[in-house]
Chain A
Amino acid sequence: MRLIRTLFIAATGALAAVGLATAAGEYRTPEDYRFSFDGPFSSFDRGAVQRGFYVFNQVCAACHSLEHLSIRHLGQPGGPFHDPEYPNPNDNPVVRAIAAEYIVEDGPDDYGDMFERPGRPADGFPQPYANEAQGRAANNGAYPPDLSIITRARHYGAPYIRSLMMGYGEEPPEGVTVGEGLYYNPYFPGGLIAMPPQLQDGLLTYNDGTEATVEQMATDVTEFLAWASDPHMEQRKQLGLMVLAYLVILCGLLFFTYRQVWSKVKH
Chain B
Amino acid sequence: MSGPSTYEPKTGFTRWLDSRLPVVRLGWDSFVDFPTPRNLNYWYTFGGILTVCLMIQIITGIVLAMHYVPHIDHAFASVQRIDRDVNYGWLIRSIHAVGASMFFLAVYMHIFRGLYYGSYKAPRELLWILGVVIYLLMMAAAFLGYVLPWGQMSYWGAMVITNLLGAFPLIGGPITEWLWGGFSVGNATLNRFFSLHYLIPFLIAGVVGLHVWALHVPGNNNPTGIDVKSNRDTLPFHPYYTSKDGFAIVLFMVIFAFFVFYWPDALGHSDNFIPADPLVTPALIVPEWYLLPFYAILRAVPDKLGGVLLMFGAIGVLFILPWLDTSKVRSMRYRPLARWFFGFFVLACLGLGWAGAALPDDPVPGLGAVGVDFLMMGRVLTVYYFAYFLVILPILGFVEKPASRPASIEESVLGNSSQSAPAAVPAE
Contact = CB atoms under 8 A, between A and B. Distances in A.
Interface in A198-243: 229, 231-232, 236-237, 239-241, 243
Contacts of A21: 269, 357
Contacts of A22: 284, 286, 357-359
Nearest to B353: A20
A152 interface: yes
A189 B356 CA distance: 22
Contact of A261 (B42, B108, B240): B240
Contacts of A14: 105, 255
A6 interface: yes
B283 A258 contact: no
B13 interface: no
A243 B95 CA distance: 13
A247 to B, nearest CB: 5
A254 B246 CA distance: 7
Contacts of A10: 105, 109, 255
Contacts of B77: 67-68
A156 B243 CA distance: 43
A262 B41 CA distance: 13
B67 to A, nearest CB: 14
B64 to A, nearest CB: 16
A69 B84 contact: yes
A154 B270 contact: yes
Contacts of A146: 275
Interface in A1-47: 2-3, 6-7, 10, 13-14, 16-18, 20-25, 40
Interface in B232-246: 235, 239-240, 243-244, 246
A117 B203 CA distance: 53
Contacts of B414: 266
Contact of B260 (A17, A73, A240): A240
Contacts of A155: 270
Contacts of B250: 247, 250-251, 254
A40 to B, nearest CB: 5
B273 A152 contact: yes
Contacts of A13: 105, 108-109, 350
A229 B84 CA distance: 9
B251 interface: yes
B271 interface: yes
A156 to B, nearest CB: 9
A148 B80 contact: yes
B273 A149 contact: yes
B369 interface: no
A205 B247 CA distance: 57
Contact of B254 (A67, A189, A247): A247
B374 to A, nearest CB: 10
A17 B105 contact: yes
Interface in B377-428: 413-414, 421-422, 424-425, 427
B109 to A, nearest CB: 6
A241 B254 CA distance: 11
Nearest to A67: B77
Contacts of B39: 267
Contacts of B424: 265
A138 interface: no
A189 B271 CA distance: 14
B332 interface: no
A167 interface: no
B262 A231 contact: no
Interface of B, secondary structure class, is helix
B262 A16 contact: no
- Measured as residues with beta carbon below 8 angstroms from the partner, the interface class of chain B is 35 or more
A23 B292 CA distance: 15
Contacts of A154: 270
Contact of B274 (A2, A18, A153): A153
Contacts of A243: 257, 261
- Measured as residues with beta carbon below 8 angstroms from the partner, the interface class of chain A is 35 or more
A40 B421 CA distance: 50
B188 interface: no
A152 B261 contact: no
Nearest to A24: B283
Nearest to A148: B80
Contacts of B267: 17-18
Interface in A103-157: 145-146, 148-149, 152-155, 157
B260 A149 contact: no
A261 B251 contact: no
B273 A258 contact: no
B262 A149 contact: no
B330 interface: no
A242 B109 CA distance: 28
A266 B109 contact: no
A152 B105 contact: no
Contacts of A153: 270-271, 273-274
A266 B421 CA distance: 8
Contact of A18 (B81, B266, B422, B425): B266
Contacts of B80: 68, 148-149
B270 A152 contact: yes
Contacts of B254: 244, 247-248, 251
Contact of A239 (B91, B239, B354, B356): B91
Given A13-B109, A17-B267, 11 more contacts: A6-B43, A10-B105, A17-B290, A20-B356, A23-B284, A154-B270, A155-B270, A251-B250, A261-B239, A266-B38, A266-B414
Interface of B: 38-39, 41-43, 77, 80-81, 83-84, 90-91, 94, 101, 105, 108-109, 235, 239-240, 243-244, 246-247, 250-251, 253-255, 257-258, 260-262, 264-267, 269-271, 273-275, 283-284, 286, 289-290, 292, 350, 353-354, 356-359, 413-414, 421-422, 424-425, 427
Interface of A: 2-3, 6-7, 10, 13-14, 16-18, 20-25, 40, 67-69, 73, 145-146, 148-149, 152-155, 157, 189, 229, 231-232, 236-237, 239-241, 243-244, 247-248, 250-251, 254-255, 257-258, 260-262, 264-267
The 4 closest A-B pairs by CB, nearest first: A240-B261, A153-B273, A24-B283, A20-B357
13 contacts: A7-B251, A10-B255, A13-B109, A17-B353, A68-B80, A153-B274, A236-B264, A254-B243, A254-B247, A257-B243, A262-B244, A264-B427, A265-B422
